[in-house]
Structure 1
Amino acid sequence: MQKSIHYRNKRKGTFCLRFKSHRLNKSASGVILLMLLPIVACNKFVDVPSPVNKIAAQELFKDDANATSAVTGIYGQMANLVQNIANGSITSLTGITSDELNYINNAAAIKEFQTNSISTNNSTNVGDFWAPAYKYIYQANASLEGIAASTGISLKTKNQLEGECRVVRSLIYFYLIQLYGDVPLITTTNFNTNTVQRRNSTPEIYDFIINDLIEAKQDLAETYPTTGRLRPNLYTAEALLSRVYLYTGQWGKAETEANNVIKSAQYSLQTDLTKIFLSGSNEAIWQIAASIDGLNTREGVLFVNSNANAIPNYLISDALMNGFEANDPRKTAWIGTKTISNKIYYFPYKYKLPMSSTSTAKENYVMFRLAEQYLIRSEAKIRQGKTDEGVKDLNIIRGRARGNNSTILPDQPMGATQQQALSYVIKERRIELMTEWGNRWLDLKRFHLCTATLQPIKPGWQDTDTLFPIPLQQILINKNLTQNSGYN
């Protein structure tokens, strides 16, 4: 069945990424950044800088300090750019696409995600997901090319920065294929090939991600390159690789990578649930810090409204509220409440600081954390028939949240069938990873639970809604792009 699409083209022309050329002076070459580039309307898929920009690139990657500023500048955009695929949007929009959140405001483009009727020219779809994703990919590609061509960067720094770029590129491609399925695999800054690139198959992109992360593992050190956990290290690459192996059904490899992270002794489960998302959390594998005054995380700004009389735009769904067991402290720690006109509203509260908060606490945006690695290792073991071992990992997560005597099943041989144990994996992931990086939406898809779960609560649900539409603007720009099934 084809969707009925209502076009609301608010912009003239088409939408793409334009990467502007900057002249860099000696004092600002590492800060102005070829990377810090706006998203604007234009008529090309990727408007790549002209060859004259090679001079600027040489200046930008001339030494360790400038090259490091170029790469870390990508993280600044990921954190500070208005909600996008690398921060709040991936949580909020997939939260309302699934059964986690309800959006109560009137923005039509966002409401389409909640009703799973995303139009092909939905401005949020392209502005929050597609455009910034390919912007970050382009920046990673440009950095890799600049680093490789440089003769002034030390080998240690070159390896570190190349590893970081591969982690960023892999993370963005991972989410692109979760949202859209097959997408163009852009690996260079070559204008001629990028503008006509067809959609590559999801297995092909998974292979690329895996190879990228294996190379990143060879480049990255176990230690972090700077104070804090604000840039990827070896275990960041392994954390993402464990997830990718899990999603591709390579259970043994997923277990190995997750086990490497867990056994590294660098991380521990944070006993205080309210401190998991703070700067310096023992559980964090990689965090991104904001650099805008008054801003901690975009999710804090998005979900937590400091106006005492304002109803939050995103509310916890009844389905998620009912998913908590009695006395689970995660419900209190991670769900905020606000009473207005004698009615209680529940909203996501993992990040607690809105814009212009006066709190002395400091939150960083958590990209990966240890609890997910236990859940990955658990599922990977269970999938391999090591059910009791997998249940032990689930009970570690439950023990952290509810006390060490809290178990899913008795810790004994033949305590659960494989199918029973997997059902507990789904349940525990739903609670532990609630409103975090779209995990619920992705889990419903990979466990093939979308229709059974969402059709009863979403009257217009269709099986093809598991993928978002390729933005119409991009299909008009690149005639080699095709649309996902179910969209006109």
Structure 2
Amino acid sequence: MKLCRIIDIINMLVVGIVLYLLMGCENMLEVDTPSNQLDAGQVFENVQTANAALAGLYANIWDNSPLSGGSQGSGALLGSYTDDQVCYYSSGETSGALDLYNNLQIASNSAVYMYWSSAYKEVYMANAIIEGAEKSKSLPEAEKNRIKGEALLIRSILFFYLQNVFGNIPMPLTTDYKINQFLSKTPSVEILSRLESDFRESANLLSDQYRSAERIFPNRKVAQLMLGKTYMLEGKWNEAEGALKTIVSSPLYIFEQDITKVFQKSGTHILWQLKPKNTNDPTLEVQTYYFSGASPGLYALNNDLIGSFSAFDKRRQNWIAPVTVGQNTWYRADKYKNRAANPTEYSVVFRMEEVYLNLAESLARQNKLSQALPYINYTRLRAGLSALTGMVSQQTVLEEVLLENRREFFCEMGHRFMDLKRFGRLSTLTAVKPNWKEYHHQWPIPQKELLLNPNLKPQNNGY
């Protein structure tokens, strides 16, 4: 997090805006070719250039961030860090991912540093957009609120992921490098409190209406989902229930009953998805997880995950592909299908299945067990499994929620790590991860950051 380089980041943002304008990004109205100089103040003088600033942020999120479907995103790194995937990187610049898989990470781990630095770069971009919208004297009030709401939501989601992975973290809320370069870590309890406030604010600033029919920009319901997830981390189960029920009751969303259509971009069960940079490009998930040769690619699914499915589970049949060569059989994630021309798939960030399972957990934590069961059964029944019915214990319901989350969301957004952490179950990884230690519930603060800013000390325990 090279805070003293914020000016470079803003310059990069401005250059990105010009490029997006020239390319007609997001199917915006055609404009005259802008001059080759566009200062940060001008960016927020009209809606089109302000939207281009947001487009640059979303492009970065898609390409390399905790939300990216690529090899440096949470799905890949946290999936192999836990027990969902096996990492087959060999050596060299990719050894950081291999060390994470083997639970041998140190403070100089390259993948850890990339995860941290890419997230903070995007936090700074979001801060620049927030400040620009707030200072604008010409943006219509409704557009100003929407632009600020989207950027605030993105910043808060990034902080949410950073807190889950690193624990206490710095929270830069401005582009002022004089402040940012000396920030100390904020305690997690304060981070979650701030996230509560910011997710509520972004929900108030945004509307339920998507500004694209393809749902490639988050709306109020995404903010309410994140508010519910924050409440869950705080153990505020009744508040989480309330936030999640506002989404369940929305007419915007319909549960997808066809297992083969869950990852098609047209689904009305999708809350938010990321669009590839170029039309018809494959998703980054396909590029990361696909292999068919004599050995796996970057990642294969862990046999422990495969064993969590029954043979009759439609998710095993449709979302997992066995690859057999000679005497060896590996399994690859096969949720996204299009490897060449891709007219039907974007990278799903949040979908209704998560809302249902989070609501089931929130209800079960309050011993509202009969109310929780229908929300678990949505995914079970679609997968061809029998419904949970009758008198069941709280422990049984919670165990099923954890198991359904694993079977439903493998290779998606770091679900397994975050679910096990929230349940206090990360230590169970010792059964399949021989190098797992208690302190691995957090990653180390990157050594480069500690050298740049001693106020980030002390290093996380164990590193």
Q: TM-score, normalised by structure 2?
A: 0.90
Contact persistence 1:120–1:469 (CA under 8 A): yes
Aligned to 2:405: 429
Contact persistence 2:3–2:177 (CA under 8 A): no
Q: Does 1:203 align with 2:179?
A: no
Aligned to 2:106: 119
Matches of 2:103 and 2:161, distance apart in 1? 18
Give the % identical residues: 28
Aligned to 1:469: 444
Amino acid at match of 1:351: Y
The structural deviation recorded for 1:400 is 2.2
Contact persistence 2:9–2:125 (CA under 8 A): no
Contact persistence 1:79–1:288 (CA under 8 A): yes
Contact persistence 2:206–2:220 (CA under 8 A): yes
Contact persistence 1:217–1:234 (CA under 8 A): yes
394-403 or 312-321, which deviates more: 394-403
* Distance verdict in 2 for CA 1:28–1:97, change over 3 Å: closer
* Distance verdict in 2 for CA 1:320–1:57, change over 3 Å: same
Per-residue CA deviation, residues 296-338 of structure 1 (Å, 9 max, x unaligned), is 3211110013x65552321111110111123000111111222
Matches of 2:412 and 2:19, distance apart in 1? 35
Alignment of 1:382-461 (within 5 A): 382-402=364-384, 406-408=386-388, 410=389, 412=390, 415-451=391-427, 453-461=428-436
Aligned to 1:48: none
Matches of 1:472 and 1:340, distance apart in 2? 42
Contact persistence 1:78–1:87 (CA under 8 A): no
Contact persistence 2:13–2:56 (CA under 8 A): no
What secondary structure sits across from 1:267 in the alignment? coil
Q: Does 1:78 align with 2:53?
A: no
Alignment of 1:174-193 (within 5 A): 174-193=160-179
Q: Does 1:370 align with 2:343?
A: no
Matches of 1:247 and 1:14, distance apart in 2? 29
Aligned to 2:313: 328
Amino acid at match of 2:405: R
Alignment of 1:224-239 (within 5 A): 224-239=210-225
Aligned to 2:86: 102
Contact persistence 1:14–1:474 (CA under 8 A): no
The structural deviation recorded for 1:20 is 5.5
Matches of 1:226 and 1:293, distance apart in 2? 15
What secondary structure sits across from 1:323 in the alignment? coil
Matches of 1:313 and 1:338, distance apart in 2? 14
Amino acid at match of 1:470: I
Per-residue CA deviation, residues 456-487 of structure 1 (Å, 9 max, x unaligned), is 32222210011000000000000101210000
Matches of 1:460 and 1:407, distance apart in 2? 37
* Distance verdict in 2 for CA 1:62–1:29, change over 3 Å: farther
Aligned to 1:319: 304
Contact persistence 1:14–1:473 (CA under 8 A): no
Aligned to 1:258: 244
Matches of 2:12 and 2:404, distance apart in 1? 48
What secondary structure sits across from 1:19 in the alignment? helix
What secondary structure sits across from 1:338 in the alignment? strand
Matches of 1:464 and 1:62, distance apart in 2? 48
What secondary structure sits across from 2:358 in the alignment? helix
Amino acid at match of 1:485: N
Any unmatched runs of 5+ in structure 2? 24-36
What secondary structure sits across from 2:456 in the alignment? coil
How many equivalent pairs are there?
A: 441
* Distance verdict in 2 for CA 1:179–1:303, change over 3 Å: same
Contact persistence 1:29–1:66 (CA under 8 A): no
The structural deviation recorded for 1:254 is 0.9
Matches of 1:248 and 1:143, distance apart in 2? 29
Matches of 1:227 and 1:61, distance apart in 2? 24
* Distance verdict in 2 for CA 1:100–1:68, change over 3 Å: same
Alignment RMSD (CA, Å): 2.4
Contact persistence 1:287–1:367 (CA under 8 A): yes
Contact persistence 1:170–1:212 (CA under 8 A): yes
The structural deviation recorded for 1:432 is 1.3
Any unmatched runs of 5+ in structure 1? 1-12, 34-53
Greater percentage in helix: 2
The structural deviation recorded for 1:14 is 12
* Distance verdict in 2 for CA 1:273–1:15, change over 3 Å: farther
